[in-house]
Amino acid sequence: MHIYFMGICGTAMGNAALLMRALGHEVSGSDKGIYPPMSDMLLNSGVKIYDGYSAERLAFINPDLVVVGNVVSRGHPEMEWLLESRALDYVSLPELLRTRLLKNRHNLVVAGTHGKTTTSSIAAFLLRELGEDPGWLIGGVPRDLPSGSAPGKDGGAFVIEGDEYDTAFFDKRSKFIQYLPEILLLNNLEFDHADIFRDLQDVQRTFSHVIRLVPRNGYIVANGDDENIAPLLENVSWAPILRVGVGENCDIRISNFRETPEGSEFDLSWRGHAWGHVAWAQSGIFNARNAAMAATACALYTATDKPEWAFPIDALAKFQGVKRRREILVDTPSLVAIEDFGHHPTALKLTLQALRERYPNRKLIAAFEPRSNTAVRKLLQGAFTDALGNADAALIAPVHHASGGAEKMNTAEVAATLCSRGVDARAPETTEQLLEGLEELVESASPEAPALVVFFSNGAFGGIIKRFADLHRPLA
């Protein structure tokens, strides 16, 4: 079968195209931006990429199936031709995954506002360490896996991020509705994606839908400390629920958590049975919960004649994490620089608090780019201000774009409020000015309190992250 992807160089579309190629399909696709590393990975796998969109070219190629990416909307030349001609079958990306892959796998679907990429990476990593042949589809660059996607064996485990974002312009359901969860992980739940959800209740509604899809022989692994998840589980009777967290109501408990100079460590127990001690390079209680959630799902999937708490978790000590998730770019006595994908106030707050504990003697400087469809709006401006208040200094970049006519974040107001709270905060008019201000803050740090810089962005941040790191990285 020849499968054609519209918008093939996006992370999710590109990884899915690689999955289809690995399953033996002929794969091609188009994009208006052909850029590495995804373009290189596709070309090296034998995938043909066409620059730009052309209805005439698509008609000539005549694939068996067209996959319509989330970025495609009305007015797209190839899409308009498909709708008018009805010459070719087309599906959304989630529908492709369900019909061509997931229906033949035991799916571990990782859902939640935060931590999907890290938790999915941990689950796939642990299964591989145990000798399984899992498949996975991860929306990032995991350091511990050979690639962002792999089909795994037919009939085996498949780990996939359960994104609540909408599916396509013609299907406004959340993507995870198509993912056939056998083990559903509910990591956390907050209001996000303000461009498609009205409020927290609207987000809870879509999560309630995916919960209904877990079969009787499946499991729901839920954050037992999350008050927004709790009401969704009150009337669930069709599948077993295991709660993970620090609270006494949790089946899998995290205890004795502490930050260390090397990362963090904690203990896990399973309904009173000691499971093991974890000492690893990741920081933050949120990452401890990511690990506990992933390990619980893997233990449930592999459990046979041994108790679930016999599942080995020693491999967590080797887990390196995911690029752009609290990734250390520079580590010297005078400067530590970290890049993080954080674009929600809770993610910023928890990361800053974890870094404060891990590096208590450093001057903590946050550089934040409001870029996501939620972050650019004024709706959560107060929450972002509170989150950045956990830093000693903060630089807020110009809002990346306006979203749907909504009132956008006022970065000058954020900076002024932070200054009134004792934070050295600035809202430069350009990213270049932000970089200049960042250099000033780093230079003003003292030997007793050297600088710790963390960049928060789900985009390119104007290219300044790489420039800053290259400038300060020690020469080889």
Q: What domains, with CATH codes, occur in the chain?
A: 2-91 (3.40.50.720), 101-318 (3.40.1190.10), 327-472 (3.90.190.20)
Q: What is the mean pLDDT of residues 376-393?
A: 89
The predicted-structure confidence for 175-227, as pLDDT tens digits, reads as follows 999 999 999 999 989 877 777 778 889 999 999 999 999 999 999 999 999 99
Q: Whole-prediction pTM value?
A: 0.81
**pLDDT of 476:** 60
**If we measure between CA atoms, which residue out of 296, 127, 309 comes closest to residue 221?**
296
Beta strand pairing call for 166-168 and 149-150: unpaired
**337-341, Cβ contacts within 8 angstroms, sequence gap of 24 or more:** 337/452, 337/453, 337/454, 337/455, 337/468, 337/469, 337/472, 338/452, 338/453, 338/454, 338/455, 339/454, 339/455, 339/457, 339/465, 339/469, 340/454, 340/455, 340/456, 341/117, 341/140, 341/456, 341/457, 341/458
The predicted-structure confidence for 294-308, as pLDDT tens digits, reads as follows 999 999 999 877 888
Query: Is 90 exceeded by the pLDDT of residue 240?
Result: yes
**pLDDT of 404:** 57
Higher pLDDT, 120 or 283: 120
**pLDDT of 82:** 97
Query: Is 90 exceeded by the pLDDT of residue 321?
Result: no
**pLDDT of 403:** 52
Q: If pLDDT is split at 50, 70 and 90, which confidence band does 323 have? A: confident
| Structural contact between residues 195 and 404, judged by C-beta atoms closer than 8 angstroms | yes
**pLDDT of 197:** 78
The predicted-structure confidence for 438-474, as pLDDT tens digits, reads as follows 999 999 888 889 999 999 987 778 888 989 999 888 8
Structure tokens at 289: 């919960």
**pLDDT of 247:** 94
Q: E strand or H helix at 49, and its extent?
A: strand 48-51
Q: What is the pLDDT of the chain when averaged over all its residues?
A: 91
Give me the phi and psi of 274, to 5 degrees please: -60, 130
The Cα–Cα gap between 177 and 163 comes to 9
